[in-house]
Amino acid sequence: MFRYLIVLLVMLLPFEAFAISAEEVMKKSQAAFHYQGKDFKARVMMKLISQGGSERIRELTMLRKNYGGAGGDQKFFMYFFKPADVKDLTFMVYKYPAKDDDRWLFVPAINMVRRIAAQDKTSSFVGSDFTYEDVSGRDIQDDTHSILKEEKLGGRDCYVVKSVPKAGDVDYSYKLSWVDKGNFLPLKEEYYDKKNELARVFTADEIKAVKGFPTITKRTMKNLQSGHRTEVLYIKSDYNVGLEDSLFSERFLKQPPKKWIE
Amino acid sequence: MNNSFYRCRCEASALSSASCGESREFRLNPARSCIYLLFFMALCFSSSIYAAEVSIHGFVQGNYSADVAKSNPDGGDFKWAEERGQLKLDASKEPFKLFLKTDAFYDHTDEKAQIELREGYLDYTEKKWDLRAGRQIITWGVGDLIFINDVFPKDYEAFFSGRPLEYMKKGIDGVKIGAYPEFASFEFIAIPIFEPNNYTDARKFYAYDPMPHVTNRGTKDPATNLENTELALRVYRDIAGFDTSVYFYRGFFRKPYMMPDDINNTTKITYHYPKLSVYGASLQGRALDGVLSLEGGYYDSREDRAGTDYTVPNSQTKFLIGYQRQLWEDFTVGVQYLTEYMHDYSDYKKNQPGGLPKDRKIYQLATIRLTQMLMHQTLRLSFFSFYSTSDGDYMLNPEVKYNFSDHVWAAVGANIFGEGEKWSQFGQLDKNDNVYFQIRYEF
């Protein structure tokens, strides 16, 4: 009898081995990575580095406000400092979990606010190796998730989660994420292309507690096929700063308030 | 600064962007002087505010556009050739902000160095309202290079001669008040001093002129007084996920219309800017995996509501539909279709003198814009085209722009015109094809 029970348990092992489902891991990871706090503010320094080593700088202030819990609606406001030809340009996104985002761009030279059409799943964010989706997060239900294994990465216990897109709407066939068991931040992500070859690698290079929220303050996305990489530094990160709803409007796209963008 | 009083007066014919060969003139406008005076008092005031945050940016650029079809009417081979520097000064101490954008340039086609105040205004910002006074650029409507409710001054010569797009917009000298109650946002604009559009210079551009033998020409601007102060109002808010605006404008056509002294024996042509009111609306939002834009407007030609005066355009209704979508990574396509309907067409036809070309009752214009970004968005290939399905004429504008570094970019492009009638909007520009080069160091 006891023997049968063991056999039964072993048979169930693949399903019962982890105390948490892959979906739950990714939900917690999304909450930790993209939904921390009521709102968030950071000065973002991006360095786009070519294979040959030449660098381009993108510097912006990113403001984010949550509407509802993790996985819910969000609004983003970005103000660009660099490069010089996009100085004072602002960009606003209303992000919805189950439908396409709304996006607006303000072009200061002609004082014009315009909606822009862009698919966030494949579009590069300001020419970097990050897509819009990498910056603002991908919907959990867009992928089928499974926990492949647990292993240590850089001394941290991690779940290794495989996420396979349900639709062919992205340029990769699957993604592996090393999610920290403690704080649920992704410490590493590997994107495999349609030929199942490793194409892009994300690494969280520095994690700091900001107002008690563990925050990735330095990250890199490397394109292994082109050799191009993007290093991102979050400086002056802050949570629960009290962003007003009215900030996310045409009025302030045209005249971004100093107190928020500095 | 003085240059602001100095205006090139090259005017369009009653039809389109044709031009006159009128000489340039200096003019001093008392109202304008008052505005500048106030502006500089404000400037002195604000510069005295201790510890204002000041930032200075700008660029130097070279901009050259060479004829490829034919030399200019005056024999020159460049539509545009200049070196230009721009300084943008931004000083703020809440609730005030001062912004000055000043260009200095050397124009090789005129062999002249000049200074131009592109923008210069003072902002005052409160929680629920704000105010901007001075020279400022205002852009309304949802069209891409098609303007229905954007009734503010444009520089078409800049557009046709391959200058950076920002030079197509001219500033207005006036006051804008914004009010932002919960239920909607309001922009109210008062413009005491009329500023016309700038059309092509007859020395550089071939354009249709119905009476080339008449050399005696003058221009009558609307007088600067309270009655003639232009007023514009925009009310906007979100309705069901669409950015919705309604617009109102009361002022003047910015295109000059011809008024011959005697149509049967013309010895003098006076250009004037008839009274105009515009009532319009626009919508823009996400639809069909892209962005859909709709805009309409009724042009009330207040000096010729009957449609019988050939020196004043008839009233019109204009409607625009646009759609923009990203088809693949960093490739976007945008299409638009404009229809303009002329009211009281039979009266127009009856009263249009022989020898002057007749506009169609319905004018239609299609545009397409293709944009592909490459090399981490540092290389941009773009193509823009106007094609009038009613007149059969077109304008093509291919362009390649590359950002060599975070500070230096260059663009090469072409403006190609053709087909249609010799008086139609782009057809008349047939002999003006040009290739242009822009290079800019930005800091």
Return the domain boundaries, chain A: 27-261
Decide if pLDDT at B40 tops 80: no
Residue A245 φ then ψ, to 5°: -60, -35
Q: What pLDDT band is residue B35 in, cutting at 50, 70 and 90?
A: low
Predicted complex ipTM: 0.90
Q: What pLDDT band is residue B94 in, cutting at 50, 70 and 90?
A: confident
Q: Is A19 helix (H, G, I), strand (E, B) or coil?
A: coil
Query: Which pLDDT value is given to residue B105?
Result: 97
DSSP code of A209? Answer: E
A100, A122, A258 member nearest B286 (Cβ): A100
A210-229: average pLDDT: 97
**Which neighbouring-strand residues pair with B293?**
B284, B322
Question: In the numeric block, which tokens belong to residue B311?
Answer: 């020196």
Looking at the structure, give the CATH architecture of the domain made up of residues A27-261: Clam (2.50)
A102-129: average pLDDT: 90
Taking an 8 Å cut-off on Cβ atoms, the answer to whether A111 and B178 are in contact is no
Decide if pLDDT at B44 tops 70: no
Taking an 8 Å cut-off on Cβ atoms, the answer to whether B332 and A84 are in contact is no
Integer-rounded Cα Rg, in Å, for chain B is: 22
The gap from C-alpha B78 to its chain's centroid, in whole angstroms, comes to 22
Query: Which pLDDT value is given to residue A229?
Result: 97
Please give the Cα distance from B296 to B286 (Å, whole number): 18
B329-349: average pLDDT: 96
A70-93: average pLDDT: 94
Q: Is B94 on the interface with A (CB under 8 A)?
A: yes
**From B48-62, B87-101, B339-353, B423-437, the region with the lowest mean pLDDT:** B48-62
Question: In the numeric block, which tokens belong to residue B174?
Answer: 């006036």
Taking an 8 Å cut-off on Cβ atoms, the answer to whether B329 and A102 are in contact is no
What residues of chain B lie within 8 A of the CB of A119, using their CB?
A: 289, 326
How much is the mean pLDDT over chain A? Answer: 92
Q: Is B219 on the interface with A (CB under 8 A)?
A: no
Q: Is B376 on the interface with A (CB under 8 A)?
A: yes
Find out whether B281 and B296 touch, Cβ atoms under 8 Å: yes
Report CA-CA distances (Å) from A179 to A71, A72, A146, A257. Answer: 17, 21, 12, 36
Residue B241 φ then ψ, to 5°: 85, 0
Q: Is B290 on the interface with A (CB under 8 A)?
A: yes
Query: Which pLDDT value is given to residue A14?
Result: 52
pTM of the model: 0.89
Query: Which pLDDT value is given to residue A6?
Result: 65
- Name the residue type at position B443: F
Q: Is A167 on the interface with B (CB under 8 A)?
A: no
3-state helix, strand, coil in chain A (%, to 5): 20, 45, 35
Q: What pLDDT band is residue B323 in, cutting at 50, 70 and 90?
A: very high
**From A15-24, A80-89, A209-218, the region with the lowest mean pLDDT:** A15-24
DSSP code of B9? Answer: -
Query: End-to-end distance of chain B based on CA atoms, in angstroms?
Result: 23
Q: Is B57 on the interface with A (CB under 8 A)?
A: yes
Please give the Cα distance from B65 to B79 (Å, whole number): 5
Higher pLDDT, A133 or A250: A250
B101-130: average pLDDT: 96
Query: Which pLDDT value is given to residue B22?
Result: 37
B137, B286, B326 member nearest A110 (Cβ): B137
Domains and CATH numbers, chain B: 2-442 (2.40.160.10)
Please give the Cα distance from B205 to B186 (Å, whole number): 40
Please give the Cα distance from B70 to B79 (Å, whole number): 11
Query: Which pLDDT value is given to residue B161?
Result: 96
Q: What pLDDT band is residue A97 in, cutting at 50, 70 and 90?
A: confident
The gap from C-alpha A158 to its chain's centroid, in whole angstroms, comes to 18
B246-274: average pLDDT: 95
What residues of chain A lie within 8 A of the CB of B293, using their CB?
A: 115
